[in-house]
Amino acid sequence: MPSEKIEFKTADGVTLRGWFIKPANADSASKLPAVVMCHGFSALKEMDLDAFANHFTEQLSLSCLVFDNRGFGDSDVAPGMPRQEIIPSVQTSDLSDAITYAQSRADVDADKIAIWGSSYSGGHVLWVGAVDRRVKAVLCQVPCVDGWENFHRLIRPDFIAGLNKSFQEDRVARAAGKPAGTLPVVDQDPLKPSALPTTDSYEFFTAWGNKSNWKNEVTIKRFECFSETL
């Protein structure tokens, strides 16, 4: 499907980048509904978001706005803030700003906006759909809706005390002006520290890591937020 590289500013001035994908037979003068799409935990738009967008635009008379979350892939981050950091309240705010950008386009019907999310962003779209009245439809798959429960399913009980210690040490280090601490997203050895210590996660992310600019890293603060999200 025809795609256009796009960028837009968030409420706090950060530039986010992505693609705007239209149906092949779209009339340049027409205003189509739009689906705003963002990926899940640490993932990039190249990780098959275009496949979903292409399917939607092939089957339906609508366009798709696909973007990288701030600090990941092609998107920027606020000055002085680390990349590879996932803060739920920031990502949901950025999703609303993506809706605003979509509505500003001359080829979008501003009254017909849907949002799509998967896994971590699947939880985001449920929240944004509930509070942002501009959203007319929500598409959500395998959403993360209980970070506390997911954290305790993923992490062995004997690892939790060490992670809590890391959270506290990272807060103190940041306050002293040191760089944000990080953890791998995945590791081949499930007994080593990582955010997603499962074999299927390792296989998925490492496969994409070889054909995109995905980085096997998230900040410790991001992982702490995950463990607290309800």
The answer, yes or no, to whether residue 152 has pLDDT greater than 80, is no
Reported confidence tier of residue 227, pLDDT bands at 50, 70, 90: low
CA atoms within a 13 Å half-sphere pointing along the CA-CB vector of 219: 20
Rounded mean pLDDT, 84-100 = 96
Q: What is the pLDDT of residue 229?
A: 47
197-218 pLDDT, tens digit each: 999 999 999 998 778 899 999 9
Residue 115, judged by CB atoms within 10 A of its CB (0-12, 13-18, 19+), counts as buried
What is the percent of the chain with per-residue pLDDT over 90, rounded to a whole number? Answer: 72
The answer, yes or no, to whether residue 147 has pLDDT greater than 80, is no
The contacts of residue 63 (CB under 8 Å, 6+ apart) are 20, 21, 22, 23, 26, 32, 33, 34, 35, 57, 107, 108
The answer, yes or no, to whether residue 226 has pLDDT greater than 70, is no
Domains and their CATH numbers in the chain: 3-141 (3.40.50.1820), 147-228 (no CATH)
